[in-house]
Structure 1
Amino acid sequence: MLTLERQISIGSLIALAKAGGWDASSWMARATSPTPANTFPVTIDQFDIANIWNNIPHRAWLLPPYLVAKHYSMLVATGASGKSAIAITMALALLTGREDLLGVKVVRPCRVLLINGEDGHEELVRRIRATCLHFGIDLPEIAHRLKVIGARQVPGLTLNRLQPGGVVADQAGLDKLEDLIRQSGADVVILDPLSSFLPGGTNDGASASAVAGRLTEICVSAGCAMLLVHHTSKAAQREGDNDPTAALGSAMWANHARSVLNLRRPTDFEAQAIGRLPSAIRDLLVLLHSKANLSRAEDAIFFEMVGVELPNAEPPLFPNGDKIGVATRLLPGASAGLFSPAMEAAAVARIAAAATTSIPYKASGRRGRQDFKPDIAVILASHFPGESQVAREKLAKILIAHLINSGRVVISHEPLPRAGKGKGGGKSDAVLRVANRHVPAGAGTGAPQGTNSILESMSASVHGQSVPAQGGTELPLGGVGESGAPETSHQRSET
């Protein structure tokens, strides 16, 4: 019997075997034989477009244009911004087939698998129950078609892992996800949030591409749509989160998605444009369709977070039920609803006084002696005592835009007096005049040159998104707002 006292190589083992009489010829023949050039039965003819030219299947939309079968989409937002509440409202719309929950078309009632990596099963059921109470949905409408998995209820449900040398896709975890999808028969799968299923992190591009590709394969194989709820990056939080690359980590996550939705709080200007005061912003959300590979990007959707009390009071310790935040679609109202006839009349009178007793207000709303915002904000102060000076000045922009849209105020192009002791007249500029009042000869009556309305001269749109305003004019979303310390209201010098 041969005893080895140290490790030897495979070559030494083969040499010992041959010395003992082993015939290695057949083994060597197999080891050195060339690999067949094509071991997969593929013929180029199967890729001819004529095969399906007259029988092209329709895209399997479930929630057009946001969710489509055989692909995944993303919902991107900062932490604690309401993205889970939006995802639950979306899930219930898909389960019931009700279009009023989101204000968008639902093709058919679906089976939904909701997997959360942060909240437990009981907490998820609380949120779902509260949302059902708010929308009048009874348990039989969703029972047996909604499966909910809470954090750590399924061990090993991870999509990547860290190993020596880097981050790799976790094939066992991905296979487990596919098995859960097949068991549930889900048409839509929601993973919330994506990062909780990625212990290897979100930054590595190669592993992100591998996981994203495998998720797409699962969608194709199971015939389902998938929604990945994800966080925004810190850079996006600083610089703006209105584009698909705002997602945390590698750009591969968004690159593989067919649709990306960005969720954030509206700006003061956006809130006022839909008839809400700046103080209401903490309860408002705006959903932007920032990436659309299979359709045109849709306009922004506004949501409001409302509190719903569950019927689970336990007196005397808990005399009331749990209060749960529910995301409900907010239909933009006319901005004119913010202002009473008395406020409108006072603003018109102030514009008339400025035009007859001093230098008229500039239509652009830029700061300086001819800025209308501080003076109009004085009129609004008693009506909106809870708003800051900056917020009231932004309300002033909305009020003046409404007065222009309604025809009570016009924009006039005219030469203005030169300020100071310089010689000669001033340059021509766009100013505010009251309609049907005297306008200097030669003055125009349209919007500022190169613009369509006062709001275009005051604001800039963001990513082409807009919201409706009174009179059919569009108020640009994310308009340029004033920054810095609030201005003090002032009166113009009499001339």
Structure 2
Amino acid sequence: MTNIQKSTAQPPRDHRRIVWKEFKAFCDMLSGDPVLVPFKDGTTDWEATTRDSIEKLAHWSNFEVSDIPRLAILTDGFDRFIKDGADVSVVTAWNEGTPCIQQIEGAPCERAVDLIMDAIADDLSIEDMLGLQLADPMKPVPDTSPSKMSLDLEAIASRFEESRTAPVAANDNQPPYDERLLPYLEAFGGKDTILTADGVYGAVVDNKAGQIRLMPDGRALFVNKLFSKYIELPEVPKPLTANPFSLGDPTTLPQRDWLFGRHYIRRYVTASVGPGGGGKTAHSISEALAMVTGRPLLDAGGPLTKPLRVWWINAEDPQDEIDRRFHAAAKHFSVTNEQIGGRLFTDSGRDQQFVIARQEGRDLKVVEPFIGDMVAEIRRREIDVVIIDPFVSTHEAQENDNGAMQRVAAAWTRVADEANCNIELVHHVAKNQGEVTADSARGGGAFKDKVRSMRVFNVMTKEEAEKAGVENHRSYFRVDFGKINMIASGNSQWRRFVSVPLMNGKGLVKNGDEIGVVEAWRWPSKDAVAEKAKAERASLIANVPAETLAGLKVRLGASDFKASDQATNWAGNLVGEFFDLNVKDKDSRRQVKAMLSAWIDAGELEIVQIQDAYRRVSPHVKPAAAPQN
């Protein structure tokens, strides 16, 4: 046992050698030389630090343990990396683990100092970092603080001092690599792939070999130096696992983040579906103004809400048409710029591309750069709701391909989730649809199943217009929840179009453009509808001469005329004869019926039950009996 202990005993470690190994890696990263800098009061004496005062090091044996805090890196000859800086010298020292960067010689060159700071912040060598910029000049190096990365040389020495005295395990189960690299090894490993502590070497991406390195923030970067290619890899899914569920206190669960109207919800995709010209676009504009102002524009009795930030995108109309529509809606609802407060953003698909999936041959490709740009802009503007109209203009998928439509909807869901916002997709219905339901949306069930909440828009029918007592049924529509799996579906919401003149005309046409704006409308009560109908009927007989009515009453009293318009001897036939109206004509027949009802309302005529020639009792129209004193 004693012999074994003697054979495994380790010789004392030299701290200088340990620190030197890790320190040299930083020198390589910054393309610099190891040096010792002057020290004063326990920190770097920058006033005394010049090229003459620093000491260059060639080996770990050239300094003492007490010199470890004085270790620094001298980087010069910056014309290797940038256009100027040939005479510039920059020293990077570490004070208590925090990098301190100082230019000590040459004309002032902020770019040289920034280059060192960016390399430390991104944990990339200067060559790799510049290669990344050259490969994608539109993608700037992230503006992060260099304090993210530190090199505490004294802590390294202390750590190894502890390891020297600590017992060494016979079987150390800690893997000598970052476990976050394992999914990338599985996904991109080739026959010659090697997994090390800092990367996957020999990885194969797009049939090109290179290395995969993890960035400080967890992003994975694929580097192919031969082709100067740098690719940010998507996160590789973790292995499938089953997570146990345990009941807890439901009051501690976070609430769903409803944004507006029990339809818009954060981190989900929602949709509004209806026929062309059915009010979807105008309705979304009124809603957008309600959201950014916090005013209940579509619910007169509703409360004020928290103002939201909305990005309204029309992928088809030009920007000037978008401007006209929003100006008209703002004019109608008396919305001011102060109330909008810079929270509204509008864009046209004619000026920018908003395509999330493109067809390449037989394959549908999700446009990953667009998703990244979209998420970044939503985060930058802190946008809560993005309304996209129409959905069909954001993809090149075949709408009858359920698989393709599901991928497009899933891509928009990614945007909603990663940007922490709601995505509202305004969508059309298939042709020749009657009553619009959730199944009417183009794209089959895949689209309906992928969105969290779907509203359907239906134009008022002629029959509904008659019941409501309105004239132009096409100016009214209703909004229903065709599919909602967050709350119980409520009653229909009715809306109507009103025409708003922009007064942008010239000469005699002062009104200029007339823009349709959507506002709330309530279905009238039964009593209100009845009163309106009665007034309209009364207007039909208001100018009938008294002698004409008297003659009609004589004829009705002398013979039996039935109240049913299906009867051969219908009383309406006699009214048509008196007023030269063809009761076979639909509109004339409706007018005759209304006139009979008006005289009954006025007490001139009445419905009485009379036995006909076949001894069947049926309602007949007769002159009303004179009131008795």
Q: Into which bin does the TM-score normalised by the smaller protein fall?
A: 0.5 to 0.7
The 1:380/1:62 distance shift into structure 2, 3 A limit, reads farther
Corresponding position of 2:372: 175
2-structure distance, mates of 1:172, 1:375: 76
Contact kept in structure 1, 2:572 and 2:593, CA below 8 Å = yes
Does 2:457 correspond to 1:263? Answer: yes
Does 2:532 correspond to 1:340? Answer: no
2-structure distance, mates of 1:284, 1:80: 11
Output the amino acid matched with 1:187: D
1:99 to 296, 301, 308: 296
- Name stretches of at least 5 consecutive residues in structure 2 with no aligned partner: 1-189, 196-201, 203-236, 543-548
* Alignment map for 1:181-220 (pairs within 5 Å): 181-220=378-417
2:480 to 273, 288, 296: 288
Corresponding position of 2:513: 322
Q: Secondary structure at the match of 2:251?
A: coil
**TM-score, normalised via structure 1 length:** 0.62
2-structure distance, mates of 1:272, 1:186: 43
Q: Percent identity?
A: 23
**Higher RCO (CA < 8 A, seq sep 6+):** 1
Contact kept in structure 2, 1:110 and 1:187, CA below 8 Å = yes
Corresponding position of 1:477: none
Q: Secondary structure at the match of 2:424?
A: strand
1:301 to 481, 493, 510: 493
Does 2:319 correspond to 1:121? Answer: yes
2:504 to 312, 331, 337: 312
Output the amino acid matched with 2:514: K
2-structure distance, mates of 1:403, 1:260: 48
2:328 to 120, 130, 143: 130
1-structure distance, mates of 2:385, 2:420: 9
Q: Secondary structure at the match of 1:79?
A: coil
CA RMSD of aligned residues (A): 4.7
1:331 to 493, 501, 522: 522
2:469 to 266, 269, 275: 275
Does 2:345 correspond to 1:151? Answer: no
**TM-score, normalised via structure 2 length:** 0.50
- Name stretches of at least 5 consecutive residues in structure 1 with no aligned partner: 1-24, 32-37, 383-387, 419-423, 438-495
Does 2:433 correspond to 1:252? Answer: no
Contact kept in structure 2, 1:60 and 1:68, CA below 8 Å = yes
Corresponding position of 1:44: 243
Contact kept in structure 1, 2:376 and 2:419, CA below 8 Å = no
2-structure distance, mates of 1:191, 1:377: 55
1-structure distance, mates of 2:279, 2:498: 11
Deviations, residues 181-206 of structure 1 (Å, cap 9, x unaligned): 22221211100011111223432211
2:437 to 234, 243, 248: 243
Corresponding position of 2:259: 62
Compute the displacement of 1:271 (Å): 1.5
Deviations, residues 13-43 of structure 1 (Å, cap 9, x unaligned): xxxxxxxxxxxx9849999xxxxxx954956
Corresponding position of 2:5: none
Contact kept in structure 2, 1:75 and 1:262, CA below 8 Å = yes
After TM superposition, the structure 1 stretch with the greater mean CA deviation from structure 2, 284-293 or 227-236, is 284-293
The 1:287/1:317 distance shift into structure 2, 3 A limit, reads same
Contact kept in structure 2, 1:190 and 1:229, CA below 8 Å = yes
Larger radius of gyration between Structure 1 and Structure 2: 2
Deviations, residues 114-135 of structure 1 (Å, cap 9, x unaligned): 0110112222111101111111
After TM superposition, the structure 1 stretch with the greater mean CA deviation from structure 2, 265-274 or 337-346, is 337-346
Deviations, residues 146-186 of structure 1 (Å, cap 9, x unaligned): 0111123223x212211222434333333333233222212
Deviations, residues 279-338 of structure 1 (Å, cap 9, x unaligned): x2243333233223222323223322222222434x459754332221122233322213
Q: Secondary structure at the match of 2:252?
A: coil
Output the amino acid matched with 1:170: V
2-structure distance, mates of 1:57, 1:42: 24
The 1:416/1:226 distance shift into structure 2, 3 A limit, reads farther
Does 2:331 correspond to 1:139? Answer: no
Q: Give the number of equivalent residue pairs.
A: 380
Q: Secondary structure at the match of 1:295?
A: coil
